[in-house]
Amino acid sequence: MIKNSVEYKRFVWELNNIISINNKNNEIVFLCIGTTTIIGDSFGPNVGTLLKKFLNQNKNIKVIGDLKNAMTYNEIENNIDYIKEKYSNSLIIVLDSALSARHNIGKIFVQNRGLKYAESLRKQNDYIGNISIKAVVGENANNNIENFKTLKKVSIDQVKLMCNIVSKGIIDVMNKKENNGKNIYK
């Protein structure tokens, strides 16, 4: 069961702590980056779809990017100024697939800073958001052509597992926040 896994418990603990430190306002925006055409880059849209399904009734939570309306690199490029302006008073949590060292494959990293999107494809972009959640789906070859090939060969089962851990964890942390901090995810 996912909720009993070490990865799930670590993820929930880290996310809860980082949100507690940063959340000085009521609105939280989940910016789920990725594309549906490449399995290794589909983490964000898959999580976005799951979050919309379970968090849609909370008017203080906004989810941008899902399987129907993916927030691809081009979409971010075209909308980054709008997102930064419209949600300037919101806590923006950015989710994306990542490539890293081989020993990090399958790990989920929560960082108390924004995300430099499309970094593994050697794009020179600014940071976006306040908190980042990265799911490591493959090994970084430090070569944009090889990294693109890696993203195409990622196992769908691996991506689904990380999507389930992250979406269930986020939902539990948001429910805990909504229920005045009661520990409901043990």
Chain-centroid distance, C-alpha 74: 18
Res. 123 pLDDT band, cuts 50 70 90: low
Q: Which residue has the higher pLDDT, 77 or 112?
A: 112
pLDDT at residue number 183: 43
Helix, strand, coil percentages in the chain from 3-state DSSP, rounded to 5: 50, 20, 30
From CA 127, how far away is CA 8, in angstroms rounded?
26
- The CATH class of 2-178 is alpha beta
Q: Burial letters for 74-104: b for 16+ Cβ neighbours within 10 Å, e otherwise?
A: ebbeeeeeebeeebeebbbbbbbbbbbeeeb
Res. 157 pLDDT band, cuts 50 70 90: very high
Domain boundaries, the chain: 2-178
pLDDT at residue number 104: 95
Average pLDDT over residues 152-173: 95
* 3-state per-residue secondary structure call for 49-63: HHHHHHHCCCCCEEE
Q: Report pLDDT digits (tens) over 42-97.
A: 999 999 999 999 887 788 899 999 999 999 988 888 888 899 899 988 999 999 99
pTM: 0.90
Has residue 120 got a pLDDT over 60?
Answer: no
Which CA distances in Å does 37 have to 20, 42, 51, 170? 35, 7, 20, 25
Residue 56, number of CB atoms within 10 A of its CB? 10
